[in-house]
Amino acid sequence: MLLMIQTAVPKGLDTTHSRFVDRCYRLRMLGLGLGAICVGTVLYNNHAHAAIWALLMANVCAWPPLARLLASRSRDAETAEIRNRLIDSLMGGVWIALMQFNLLPCVLLTAVLAIDKTDLGDARLIGRGLLVQAAACVLTLAIHGFAFAPQTQMLEIVASLPLLIVYPFIVGKSMHTLACRVREQNLKLHRMENGDARENIA
C-alpha cells in the first residue's frame, strides 16, 4: 500500500520549507497506507463496488504526491498543508459513509485526522476539519445512499490495530524530533547573539 512516489521539488526551496513538505509527505503516506488496511477490510466485508476500490487506491497512491507537489510549489507551505489536511478530512468523511459507520474504524479515522492537525494549529483547525468531514459524509450519503452497519467484526478490529498503534507513535516521534531541532536552532541563535554582544563590548 505504501507506494513511494517521488515528486520533483523546485530548486531554490528553503531548507526548512523542504523539510516541512517532506515530513508531511512521509506522515501522509504512512497514515493513508495504514488507513487503507483498515478501510479496505471493511470494504471487503461489505462487498464494495469496484469504483469504490478505485477511489481508495487513488486516495492512497495519487493524493500524497499531489499534496506534496502543491505544498512544495506554494510560497506558504504551511497554508498549503492546512488546505491539504482539510482535504484529508474531506476524504475521511467519504470513507466513514462508505464504511457504513462501522464503529471502530470510523472512530479511529476521526481521531487520527484530528491528531494529524495538532502540529499545524489550535482547536479551530481541528473543528474546521470535523466540519469538512461531516459535510463530506452527508454529501456521500446523498450520492451513494444511506447504509448503517456499526458492528465491527474481529477481522476489522485486527486491521485497525496498525493505524491505532503505529501512526500515533510515529507522529509523536516526529513532533519530538521537530521540537528538538527547534530547541537546537534557538540555542545556536542565542549563542550567536551573545557572541555579537561580546564583540560589541570589546
pTM (2 decimals)? 0.81
Q: What are the cell numbers at 14?
A: 528553503
pLDDT per residue, tens digit, the chain (202 aa), is 333 333 344 444 467 778 889 989 999 999 999 999 999 999 999 999 999 999 999 999 999 999 999 999 988 888 999 999 999 999 999 999 999 999 999 999 999 999 888 877 678 899 999 999 999 999 999 999 999 999 999 999 999 999 999 998 888 787 767 667 667 766 766 676 666 555 555 5
The answer to whether 140 and 106 have CB atoms below 8 angstroms apart is no
Instruction: Give dist(CA 28, CA 118) in Å, integer.
Output: 14
Q: Which pLDDT value is given to residue 72? A: 92
The answer to whether 151 and 14 have CB atoms below 8 angstroms apart is no
The answer to whether 108 and 160 have CB atoms below 8 angstroms apart is yes
Q: Which pLDDT value is given to residue 116? A: 86
Where in the chain are the domains?
15-201
Instruction: Give dist(CA 55, CA 144) in Å, integer.
Output: 13
Backbone torsion region of residue 100, taken as left when φ is above 0, otherwise alpha when ψ lies between -120 and 50, otherwise beta: left
